[in-house]
């Protein structure tokens, strides 16, 4: 199960990276074609959709790398017993917030599909399509937060994704 979850978080991060590249391509296409009086309809809208996808799809990946902002000034000064209670409470609150985010993101995409909402731009994109990345990213974040909550509840340190070593990075290049 651990391998599956870690793969899910990495896939989410990879999809966020693809969204970032797509954002760059859309913005660059709009910028480079303007001097030639060529208008590519929808590039601004698609760049915005891709940017939103980046943000939501990267949530779980960055969370599992411990890169989200966390105020540990108080928790580090607590004794072991109180620290465990504070960690459990913080992760429990995280589960509640991530649950609400996931619920409303999925609901928004579903309702946009049901009501056949389309974007106001010239591209007239069905809004559920870009909202789907928000819903998927939110659900994966919820899975990651619940994963950590379970680990903390069992008295373990939450699992973090291993960062690639310098040797692995050199091999990827």
Give tens-digit pLDDT for 35-46: 899 888 888 899
How many structural domains is the chain composed of?
A: 1
- CA 167 from centre of chain: 27
Q: Which domain holds residue 93?
A: 2-163
Is position 168 within any domain? no
Answer yes or no: is 172 within a domain.
no
d(CA 75, CA 170): 37
Burial of 26 (0-12, 13-18, 19+ CB in 10 A): buried
Report yes or no on 169 lying in a domain: no
Of 114, 73, 107, the residue nearest 90 (C-alpha):
73
Please give the pLDDT value at position 114.
Answer: 97
pLDDT of residue 121: 80
Q: How confident is the model at residue 169 (pLDDT cuts 50, 70, 90)?
A: very low
Has residue 173 been placed in a domain?
A: no
Task: Enter the tokens of residue 157.
Answer: 């340190």
Q: Is the pLDDT of residue 60 over 50?
A: yes
């Amino acid at each position: 199960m651990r391998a599956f979850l870690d793969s899910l978080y990495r896939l989410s991060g990879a999809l966020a990276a693809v969204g970032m590249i797509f954002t760059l391509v859309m913005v660059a296409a709009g910028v480079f074609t303007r001097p030639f009086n060529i208008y590519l309809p929808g590039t601004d809208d698609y760049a915005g959709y891709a940017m939103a996808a980046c943000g939501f799809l990267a949530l779980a990946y960055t969370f599992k790398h411990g890169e989200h902002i966390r105020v540990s000034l108080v928790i580090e000064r607590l004794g072991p017993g109180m620290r465990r209670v504070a960690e459990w409470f913080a992760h429990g609150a995280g589960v509640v917030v991530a649950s609400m985010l996931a619920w409303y993101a999925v609901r928004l995409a579903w309702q946009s599909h049901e009501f056949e909402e389309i974007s106001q731009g010239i591209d007239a994109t069905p809004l559920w399509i870009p909202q789907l990345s928000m819903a998927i990213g939110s659900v994966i974040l919820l899975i990651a937060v619940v994963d950590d909550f379970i680990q903390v509840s069992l008295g373990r340190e939450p699992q973090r994704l291993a960062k690639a070593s310098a040797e692995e990075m050199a091999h990827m290049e």
